[in-house]
Structure 1
Amino acid sequence: MNWIRARQPDQIAERRSDILTSAAAMLEVKELESVTLGDIAESAGISKANIYRYFSSRDEIYLTIFVMERESFAHELIERIGRCRAKDRISRIAEIWAETALAHVTLLELYPRLHTTLERNSSVDQIAELKKTGGAMLRRSAAAHHALVPEIDESAWYGITQASVALMTGFWHFVNPDEKVRLAMSRPDVDQPSMDFRSMFVSSQAAMIRGHVPRV
């Protein structure tokens, strides 16, 4: 393995980016729980020992990916909400959420692992920073939604946004279960209809939002 240690800031940033890209790609073929540092190192073309020059653990790598994906999702969502001119604003908001979510599948895969794995193996300082930046994103999102639908106050939109994230991640994993569940569901004697993430999310979120519109 031809390895040249990165020494300059731009080289270090590039090496970290390569590792993050490889780690994110692993989620397309494996569940997070099955991914090892060795898998990431092999995919990135470096040794496992050298990964520790850039990240302290596998979970730090995936927490970094989560933060980047969450920021990207929030930025795109807020931008699209700001451009919305639809007559049925609430239905369009739900469609925008679903479309933006489906463009960020890595985030959907990591969200449920945030509390069960990634936060449990992080420091208090890391978790505090994660919560601080998350709260700031929720406030920006609430402000953008309130600007589009001012009938619902901003504090209510904050709660709607929190609930929408839970709805989004819950539906995603309900519709895309692990391999054992998929095998069980494929049996002819298991009589359950197929489920579609987009339609389930859009109808549920739109109903939740409409429930917050004040009655005149």
Structure 2
Amino acid sequence: MECTPTFLRARRPEHKRQRYDAIRSAAAELALERGVRSVSLGDIATAVGVHKSAILRYFATREEIYLSIGADAWVDWTQAVHAEFADVVETTPAALAEALSRTLADRPLLCDLLAQAPLNLERHVSTGAVRSFKLAVLEAVEGLAALVEKLVPALADRGFEAVAAIACFASSAWQIAHPSESLAALYAAEPALARACVDFVPTVSRFGEVYLTGLIATVS
């Protein structure tokens, strides 16, 4: 549906911040509805009520918008996991893996971005944009890694590896667990094929438990 632009050019700092936030909010909402890869820069501009040229004053590409959102999503997930274990001194690999997978499932946009970032988004932005994204994500992973090592002392210095592996597996599992409408219809018509569609939380939880347990066994 076409939308007539309603915004005048933002000139004051507070108006520019409002426009920046509006762009990111619209991009996030569209991605939750359609999936990141299905949203174009034009779609975002229409949702905000501006021309594409106005979007380009804030972000060079749609990919840059989603990397910006992704960086904040990683921080949000990290904070959620810390809150989950705020009063916990130590836990088991199974409990930790379940919490990581469950809090990820609560953040569908982050789950989609886990796959889309390396596949598409990072390939169509400036080096500076990728650098900012990577720095934010690495800081978030390091924060989770420190928590993992605190909660499961047997992991010693392997927390970063643990978080990276679980996030990597989750990125693929999310895409498999959320097929397109046509593929979902095929699964409904042919139940034998539906085995290819995994249940996200238990699948990632099981992987995480097995991976963490195996990682502990390799720590000397």
**2:198 matches 1:212:** no
Superposed CA offset, 1:75-104 (max 9, x none)? 222332343357x53222112112210221
Partner-residue secondary structure (3-state), 1:6:
coil
Q: How many residue pairs were aligned? A: 214
Aligned to 2:164: 162
Distance 1:70 1:189, change over 3 A: closer
Aligned to 1:14: 18
Q: Pairwise mapping of residues 195-206 of structure 1 onto structure 2 (< 5 A)?
A: 195-206=198-209
CA contact under 8 A between 2:80 and 2:103: conserved in structure 1?
A: yes
CA distance in 2, matches of 1:134, 1:109: 15
Superposed CA offset, 1:175-199 (max 9, x none)? 1123343233222364444631111
Superposed CA offset, 1:133-183 (max 9, x none)? 3222222211111111112112x1111111011111111111112334323
CA distance in 1, matches of 2:209, 2:163: 12
Distance 1:45 1:168, change over 3 A: same
Q: TM-score, normalised by structure 2?
A: 0.87
Percent of paired sites with the same residue? 23
Aligned to 2:155: 152
**2:145 matches 1:142:** yes
Aligned to 2:104: 101
**2:177 matches 1:178:** no
Match of 2:61 among 53, 57, 62: 57
Unaligned runs of 5+ in 2: none
List structure 1 segments (4+ residues) > 4 angstroms apart after TM superposition. none
Q: 99-108 vs 69-78, which deviates more?
A: 69-78
CA contact under 8 A between 1:16 and 1:54: conserved in structure 2?
A: yes
Partner-residue secondary structure (3-state), 2:82:
helix
Unaligned runs of 5+ in 1: none
CA distance in 2, matches of 1:36, 1:24: 12
Let me know the Cα RMSD of the aligned residues. Answer: 2.2
